[in-house]
């Protein structure tokens, strides 16, 4: 009987891992509400939620989805509650724990706690640099993305430009990291009033976005168009900017809801264009 119980637990664990992969795929596709519901369901089904990794891993996905839907306060509270479990189950220097810290940092940034976000991301990069496991470069890139986002929010646009251009010189590939970094560069250029350069970078970002597999395009859908619309507005070309901004707003509102950051940014741009 012990053998059958062990085999049953192993098979149940494999099924849970498959379920976790599915909810992560939903999140990566930008299907945040579905990802959150699925992740919460997985966590609730665990009989020993604090003794095995499945519930904390699922709740981490749920927190990411909640943040993407604009509920960053809930996301941060979940990340804070999860960190002790991740430290105990995986260890403080493990890839999973460091990635959770970068996700938490992004929630801090969305809540206006930009200096805390940057400091956390820099610390994670230092810790990850000491570990040569194959997954650590992705943790470093996630932390760098958080640092860049924080610096943009703090108005340190020259530092953003330096970091993004250094990254692109070493990692100019067709992947989601390159896409996000190029979009961050457009934010920096637009903020510096270099709108023509921003349009050129947005075009490059759009090319990357179109080249990604369909299941990876969701999170950044409309981001390049929004960057272009912001640049066109900066150049005084509102007749071109407004249709782009309106299309991004409508698509983001439908896909992600009114509290998503891109929905809010597109609406704010429309308000500026209309003289509100």
What's the pLDDT score for residue 101?
98
What's the pLDDT score for residue 235?
97
Distance CA 258, CA 276 (A): 19
* Of the candidates 26, 25, 30, 57, the residue with the CA atom closest to the CA atom of residue 179: 30
What's the pLDDT score for residue 4?
38
What's the pLDDT score for residue 50?
63
Q: Are 198 and 241 in contact (CB under 8 A)?
A: no
pLDDT by 10s per residue, the chain, length 276:
333 344 456 666 688 999 999 999 999 999 999 999 999 999 999 877 666 799 999 999 999 999 999 999 999 999 999 999 999 999 999 999 999 999 999 999 999 999 999 999 999 999 998 887 888 999 999 999 999 999 999 999 999 999 999 999 998 789 999 999 999 999 999 999 999 999 999 999 999 999 999 988 999 999 999 999 999 999 999 999 999 999 999 999 999 999 999 999 999 999 999 995
Residues near 92 by Cβ (< 8 Å), separated by ≥ 6?
none
* Of the candidates 86, 78, 74, 67, the residue with the CA atom closest to the CA atom of residue 27: 67
What's the pLDDT score for residue 51?
65
Question: In 3-state terms, what secondary structure has residue 132?
Answer: coil
| Residue 246: other Cβ atoms inside 10 A | 16
What's the pLDDT score for residue 172?
78
Distance CA 181, CA 161 (A): 10
What's the pLDDT score for residue 8?
53
Distance CA 143, CA 130 (A): 14
């Amino acid at each position: 009987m012990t053998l059958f119980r062990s085999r049953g637990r192993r098979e149940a664990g494999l099924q849970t891992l498959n379920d976790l992969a599915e909810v992560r795929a939903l999140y990566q596709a930008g299907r945040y509400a579905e990802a959150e519901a699925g992740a919460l369901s997985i966590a609730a089904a665990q009989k020993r939620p604090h003794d095995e990794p499945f519930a904390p891993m699922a709740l981490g996905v749920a927190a990411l989805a909640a943040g993407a839907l604009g509920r960053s306060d809930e996301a941060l509270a979940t990340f804070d509650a999860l960190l002790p479990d991740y430290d105990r189950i995986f260890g403080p220097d493990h890839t999973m724990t460091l990635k959770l810290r970068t996700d938490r940092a992004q929630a801090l940034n969305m809540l206006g706690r930009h200096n805390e976000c940057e400091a956390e991301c820099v610390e994670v990069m230092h810790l990850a640099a000491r570990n040569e496991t194959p997954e650590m470069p992705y943790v470093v890139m996630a932390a760098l993305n958080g640092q860049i986002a924080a610096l943009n929010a703090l108005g340190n646009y020259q530092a953003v430009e330096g970091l993004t251009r250094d990254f692109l010189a070493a990692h100019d590939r067709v992947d989601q990291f390159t896409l996000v970094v190029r979009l961050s560069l457009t934010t920096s250029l637009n903020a510096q009033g270099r709108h023509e350069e921003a349009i050129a970078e947005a075009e490059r970002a759009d090319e990357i976005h179109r080249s990604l597999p369909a299941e990876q395009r969701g999170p950044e859908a409309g981001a390049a168009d929004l960057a272009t619309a912001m640049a066109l507005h900066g150049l005084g070309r509102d007749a071109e900017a407004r249709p782009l901004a309106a299309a991004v707003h409508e698509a983001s509102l439908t896909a992600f809801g009114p509290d998503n950051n891109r929905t809010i940014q597109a609406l704010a741009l429309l308000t500026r264009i209309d003289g509100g």
